[in-house]
């Protein structure tokens, strides 16, 4: 079974400040990890993903995340927040095997507010 | 390439009715997954189809069903609608649904049940 915990349902930062959104996962198989962003009344857009290889993953819009197996974490960071980053962010885990076919398990989401 | 499209975008139904939602995946993608998103339960997996076969299913009642056509387009049906079925229904496509492949999401269909 797989699960994702996102710490903090709401995060507020000032424009130009560091963004840190936390995600911890649980998986019985090697995990594939994803961060998505959702703007109001829209679907989910992929920011970045980890499958194998380098544990520091760079994504779009200046976001990056580091896979830490020992801590079962995949936290999302951005050095300098922009007003346009205000949205809801979801961490997701998927895995190999028939029981995981086509299925991603999502965290509850973190709403990011950026103050001017 | 065109993205994932979902129709209709908005839908209002009354309790007891049924509804059919449609999803057209990205060209070449053979896996289509459906998710329900609500404020209370978040994003929950409904089911996944690959090559016209349901390979995986979430924990939803039998009122929720789906199918996939030979061109990979998919439909989901909800019968005997309940108030709690009000949600954003998201469709996602990927090449093969193996988990490591990125799922690309459509804009969703917002269903309101009155």
pLDDT in tens, A13-49: 999 999 999 999 998 778 899 999 999 888 999 999 9
Q: How far apart are CA B108 and CA B111, in angstroms?
A: 9
Residues of A in contact with B105 (CB under 8 A): 36, 43-45
Contact between A101 and A84 under an 8 Å Cβ cutoff? The reply is no
| pLDDT at residue A30, rounded to an integer | 81
| pLDDT at residue A2, rounded to an integer | 87
Residue of B46, B99, B105 to mutate, interface with A, max A Cβ within 10 Å: B99
Give the distance from residue B14's alpha carbon to the nearest chain A alpha carbon, in angstroms. 22
Q: How far apart are CA B69 and CA B49, in angstroms?
A: 10
- A100 pLDDT band (50/70/90 cuts)? confident
User: CA dihedral in degrees (B102, B53, B45, B21; nearest 10)?
Assistant: 100
Give residue-wise pLDDT tens across range B57-98. Answer: 999 999 999 999 999 999 999 999 999 999 999 999 999 888
CB-CB under 8 Å, A43 with B99 = no
Q: How far apart are CA A35 and CA A21, in angstroms?
A: 10
Closest partner residue to A43 among B90, B94, B102, by Cβ? Answer: B90
Residue of B4, B94, B100, B101 to mutate, interface with A, max A Cβ within 10 Å: B100
Neighbours of A13 (CB within 10 A): 18
CB-CB under 8 Å, B32 with A46 = no
Give the distance from residue B17's alpha carbon to the nearest chain A alpha carbon, in angstroms. 24
Helix (H) / strand (E) element for B111: namely strand B109-113
Q: How far apart are CA A75 and CA A72, in angstroms?
A: 10
Nearest CA in chain B to A109: B42
| pLDDT at residue A29, rounded to an integer | 77
Nearest CA in chain A to B48: A102
Residues of B in contact with A32 (CB under 8 A): 99-100
Give the distance from residue A36's alpha carbon to the nearest chain B alpha carbon, in angstroms. 10
């Amino acid at each position: 079974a797989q699960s994702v915990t996102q710490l903090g349902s709401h995060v507020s930062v000032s424009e130009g400040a560091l963004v840190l959104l936390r995600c911890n996962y649980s998986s019985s198989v090697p995990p594939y990890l994803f961060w998505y962003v959702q703007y109001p009344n829209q679907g989910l857009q992929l920011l970045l993903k980890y499958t194998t290889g380098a544990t520091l993953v760079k994504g779009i819009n200046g976001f990056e995340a580091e896979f830490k197996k020992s801590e079962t974490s995949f936290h999302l960071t951005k050095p300098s927040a922009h007003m346009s980053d205000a949205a809801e962010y979801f961490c997701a885990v998927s895995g190999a095997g028939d029981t995981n076919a086509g299925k991603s398990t999502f965290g509850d989401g973190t709403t990011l507010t950026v103050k001017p | 390439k065109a993205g994932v499209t979902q129709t209709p975008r908005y839908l209002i139904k009354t309790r007891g009715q049924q509804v059919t939602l449609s999803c057209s995946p990205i060209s070449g993608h053979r896996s289509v997954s459906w998710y329900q998103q609500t404020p209370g339960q978040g994003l929950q997996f409904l089911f996944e189809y690959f090559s016209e076969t349901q390979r995986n299913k979430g924990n939803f009642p039998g009122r929720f069903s789906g199918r996939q056509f030979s061109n990979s387009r998919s439909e989901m049906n909800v019968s005997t609608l309940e108030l709690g079925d009000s949600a954003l229904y998201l469709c996602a496509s990927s090449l093969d649904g193996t988990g490591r492949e990125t799922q690309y999401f459509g804009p969703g269909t917002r269903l309101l049940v009155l």
